[in-house]
């Protein structure tokens, strides 16, 4: 007897096949398939091999490489090329493969290199027992395994192209037999395959490592915006997030007050409201935002008052929560630092906001480098590059200055 999931996939396959036969050009009508059913089939795990390309496909049409897609979709390709999606198989992942078997690696590849063809190439490269015995066919770029979350991961199944409904002013075309459109590509649930773990997924103290879709669904943003509204505006394929200063600034409303406590004691209070992110800020454990409080005296000297951190801090073994100061969508949090005022008047408090998009990875990478004797030389080199990449992604977001409530 077929399982319910198999029956749903078979039904969807018949619907899609009928749509393909009834549509004769690239601007096909949207398929009348519920989003849930489409996504269950589209993201069936694992994604099956594409198989041989259809007869009549050119070398370009048969290719699964983003560079091939970019020949016609230049704007999307250029945006993807500068995005984090193009770097999901970078040194931060590659050094860890030395510590994994194929089954463990495939759990990472589920999102970092999801195509069956990518997994096969990486298995050959690492000499895993499950590697294909034959070299890949000519239509598969030998470097496809290192190209990250490629266009085909979202848009190609069985050499058929899928995407959102065509724009009204889109030019019709006939490349790769056209495409099948689905409203699922404009639905936040499309992103859940990698950005929402199931209820029984990896967690710390009951909190899922990836819980972004649930955070969004529970937020006041959900009725107004989708993931794509913010991270793919006007269908841009750049997926800007906390690594981008402009995107981060648009998510936050910052304020700084200095409050007198009496007897020469004061408290600096940073008020941070999540006004733009449709999920917690930040959404998961890797990024942190550091709030450094400084006292600037009239003579120009600077004194550190303290630091507060916005984020979910978990130990590097992923077993223990240290702190969780994330800010849900639409909510605010106050971060106080008490201090003693100097005798001399004319001082002010400055708040320096610094973003560390890969803070969790930084701690993890440093720990492993401290015991690099356990890693092969190539993995050590990749690990050092991964740490350098994480550090280079840090940036100062803004500075805010506040004077005490009375003349000092």
232 belongs to a structural domain: no
Residues 139-168 as b/e (b if ≥16 CB within 10 A, e otherwise) read bbbeebbbbbbbbbbbbbbebbbbbbebee
Report the pLDDT value the prediction gives residue 217, as an integer from 0 to 100. 98
**134 & 270 share domain:** no
pLDDT value at 168 more than 50: yes
Element (H, E) at 213: helix 212-217
Collect all residues with Cβ–Cβ distance below 8 Å to 75 and sequence separation of at least 6. none
**253 & 184 share domain:** no
**127 & 274 share domain:** no
Q: Which of 172, 189, 206 is the last residue of a domain?
A: 189
Q: Which of 169, 189, 209 is the last residue of a domain?
A: 189
67 belongs to a structural domain: yes
Q: What are 50's two structure tokens?
A: 């594409």
**253 & 159 share domain:** no
Average pLDDT, the chain: 91
**251 & 383 share domain:** yes
- Cβ proximity of 353 and 289 under 8 Å: yes
Rounded CA-CA distance 191/63 in Å is: 24
DSSP count for the chain of H helices, then E strands: 15, 14
Collect all residues with Cβ–Cβ distance below 8 Å to 17 and sequence separation of at least 6. none
**121 & 254 share domain:** no
235 belongs to a structural domain: no
Give the three-state DSSP class for 317. coil
pLDDT value at 255 more than 70: yes
Report the pLDDT value the prediction gives residue 328, as an integer from 0 to 100. 99
**56 & 124 share domain:** yes
* Angle CA 291–295–300, to nearest 5: 130
How many structural domains does the chain have?
2
**42 & 183 share domain:** yes
Q: Which of 142, 167, 189 is the last residue of a domain?
A: 189
**76 & 185 share domain:** yes
200 belongs to a structural domain: no
377 belongs to a structural domain: yes
Element (H, E) at 7: helix 4-22
Weakest-pLDDT range from 151-165, 178-192, 364-378, 385-399: 364-378
Rounded CA-CA distance 376/202 in Å is: 28
58 belongs to a structural domain: yes
271 belongs to a structural domain: yes
Q: pLDDT-derived band of residue 6, with 50, 70 and 90 as boundaries?
A: very low
In terms of residue numbers, what domain contains 365? Answer: 245-402
Give the three-state DSSP class for 183. helix
pLDDT tens per residue, range 80-106: 999 999 999 999 999 999 999 999 999
pLDDT tens per residue, range 16-69: 444 443 333 345 545 568 999 999 999 999 999 999 999 999 999 999 999 999
Read out DSSP for 170-186? PPP--GGG-BEE-GGGG
Percent of the residues in the chain that have a pLDDT greater than 90, as a whole number = 83
Largest CA distance in the chain: 84
**358 & 256 share domain:** yes
115 belongs to a structural domain: yes
Rounded (10°) angle between helices 4-22 and 35-42:
100
Q: What are 23's two structure tokens?
A: 């549509």
Radius of gyration of the chain (CA): 25
E-state strands within 175-314: 180-181, 203-204, 207-208, 252-262, 265-274, 288-296, 302-310, 312-314
**9 & 149 share domain:** yes
272: closest CA among 289, 258, 284, 247?
289
Report the pLDDT value the prediction gives residue 7, as an integer from 0 to 100. 38
**181 & 286 share domain:** no
């Amino acid at each position: 007897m077929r399982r319910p999931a198999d029956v749903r996939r078979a039904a969807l396959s018949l619907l899609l096949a009928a749509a393909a036969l009834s549509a004769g050009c690239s601007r096909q009508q949207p398929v009348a398939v519920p989003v849930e059913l489409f996504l269950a089939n589209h993201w069936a795990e694992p994604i099956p091999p594409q198989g041989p390309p259809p007869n009549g496909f050119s070398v370009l049409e048969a290719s699964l490489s983003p560079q091939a897609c970019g020949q016609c979709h230049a704007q999307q390709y250029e945006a993807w090329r500068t995005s984090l999606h193009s770097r999901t198989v970078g040194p931060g992942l590659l050094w860890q493969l030395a510590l994994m078997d194929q089954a463990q690696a495939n759990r990472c590849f589920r999102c970092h290199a999801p195509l069956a063809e990518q997994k096969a190439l990486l298995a050959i490269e690492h000499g895993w027992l499950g590697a294909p015995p034959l070299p890949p066919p000519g239509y598969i770029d030998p470097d496809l395994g290192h190209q990250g979350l490629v266009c085909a991961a979202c848009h190609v199944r069985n050499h058929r192209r899928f995407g959102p409904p065509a724009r009204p002013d889109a030019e019709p075309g006939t490349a790769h037999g056209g495409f099948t459109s689905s409203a699922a590509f404009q639905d936040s649930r499309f992103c859940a395959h990698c950005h929402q773990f199931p209820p029984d997924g990896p967690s710390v103290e009951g909190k899922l490592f990836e819980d972004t879709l649930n955070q969004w669904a529970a937020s006041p943003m959900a009725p107004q915006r989708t993931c794509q509204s913010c991270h793919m505006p006007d269908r841009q394929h750049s997926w800007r997030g906390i690594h981008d200063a402009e995107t981060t600034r648009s998510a936050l409303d910052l304020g700084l007050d200095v409050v007198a406590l009496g007897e020469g004691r004061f408290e600096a209070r940073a008020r941070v409201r999540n006004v733009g992110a449709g999920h917690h800020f930040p959404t998961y454990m890797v990024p942190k935002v550091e709030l450094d409080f400084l006292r600037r005296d009239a003579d120009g000297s600077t004194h550190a008052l303290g630091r507060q951190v916005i984020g979910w801090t978990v130990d590097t073994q992923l077993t223990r929560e240290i702190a969780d100061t994330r800010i849900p969508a639409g909510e605010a949090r106050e971060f106080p630092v008490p201090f003693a005022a100097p005798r001399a008047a004319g001082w002010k408090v400055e708040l320096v906001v610094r973003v560390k998009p890969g803070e969790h990875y930084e701690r993890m990478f440093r720990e492993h480098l401290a015991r690099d004797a356990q890693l092969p030389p190539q993995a050590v080199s990749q690990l050092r590059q991964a740490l350098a990449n994480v550090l280079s992604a840090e940036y100062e977001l803004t500075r805010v200055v506040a004077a005490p409530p009375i003349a000092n």
